[in-house]
Chains A and B, each alone.
Chain A
Amino acid sequence: MMVSFFDQFASPSYLGIPNIAVAIALPWVLYPTPPARWINNRLITIQGWFINRFTNQLMLPLNVGGHKWALLLASLMIFLITINMLGLLPYTFTPTTQLSLNMGFAVPLWLATVIIGMRNQPTIALGHLLPEGTPIPLIPVLIIIETISLLIRPLALGVRLTANLTAGHLLIQLIATAVFVLLPMMPTVAILTAAVLFLLTLLEVAVAMIQAYVFVLLLSLYLQENV
């Protein structure tokens, strides 16, 4: 049986217990609830600082109606960034490489923003389908294009996160395999490849954080249009 590079993305399970269950529950353990103290320990302080700063940044462009989403967007961001970063540890499984999980996040949240817009301010929501200053002959075509663009948003959100993480993991595995294969034959080339691997790992750390942020940022933008 041909073993392929994509075997790492098969959802693993042990004795019938799916690893993904532990991998998804792990972020909850890593962020303890701050006790009701004036000054907390270092980890809780850092955690609180990061969450507050991020939520402040995210809520800046939103009006008061959008602030209702603060808890959801902040917790989603923490969840995604933790899962992505944990996936870079050896032997761990990254749930966000599964398209099902990412679509499970993207579709309901996007749909919620659209329904909120259509329900509360239908004229404005539909008005987004036609940018200002469009030449008149282009109007029908542009409305169709904007509608397609609207409908493709959840797909783009989910697939973007999946593809970025999957591609990163795959690249790391490919280059690491190359290092191992080259080591006995051409050590110098193997060392150069190992340097590339190191840089790639740094890139993957950045990508893990950025992709989580982009996911949540785009959701907040969609919300901003509609709320």
Chain B
Amino acid sequence: MADKPVALAQKKLMDVKLGQLPSWLGTRDFTPNGLLGSVRGGYERYYNKYINVKKGGIGGVAMFLAGYIALSYLWEYDHISGGSTTETHRTTRPLKSFVCSSVILTPLSVCDCCDQE
């Protein structure tokens, strides 16, 4: 069963086949105005789907805040892990710092007790 023939430029991202992805990206608008428009469009879609509903709950805001936490974690990973790839506790430190509490930004002296100076 064939799909209706739709021009590539008008397809949504999820409908684009993998092989068509580069050419689809070529049809998108990457000017500053275009980027701004896509950000605004994304905001409107999220807002109208999760916030601007009659019986909206905490879910819409919670998803957004979870995304913000994830983004902050990504941005601070370098700082949290000590910046060195030879640190033995590199992968456990960020996890510890999350589990530890809600406000830790550096795990720092978690291992101080076993460090010899």
Question: Which chain A residues have a beta carbon within 8 Å of chain B's beta carbons?
Answer: 3-5, 7-8, 10, 12, 14, 19, 22, 26, 29-30, 32, 41-44, 86-93, 168-169, 172-173, 175-177, 179-181, 197, 201, 204
Contacts and interface: CB of A to CB of B under 8 A. Distances in A.
Given A3-B108, A14-B75, A204 B56 contact: no
Contacts of B43: 29
Interface of B: 43, 47, 51-57, 60-61, 64-65, 68-69, 71-76, 78-80, 82, 96-98, 100-110, 112-113
30 contacts: A3-B108, A5-B106, A8-B105, A10-B79, A12-B79, A14-B76, A26-B68, A29-B64, A32-B47, A32-B52, A41-B51, A41-B52, A43-B61, A44-B52, A86-B65, A88-B103, A89-B68, A90-B69, A90-B101, A91-B98, A93-B72, A172-B103, A172-B104, A176-B101, A176-B103, A177-B100, A179-B100, A180-B96, A181-B112, A204-B103
A86 B72 CA distance: 11
A41 B48 CA distance: 11
A32 B51 contact: yes
| Most chain A CB neighbours (cut-off 10 Å) among B43, B69, B72, B97 | B72
Given A12-B76, A14-B75, A181-B110, A201 B105 contact: no
B68 A92 contact: yes
A179 B65 CA distance: 26
A92 B72 CA distance: 6
A173 B103 contact: yes
Given A32-B47, A41-B52, A41-B56, A176 B100 contact: yes
Given A42-B55, A180-B96, A93 B60 contact: no
Contacts of A32: 47, 51-52
Contacts of A169: 103, 105
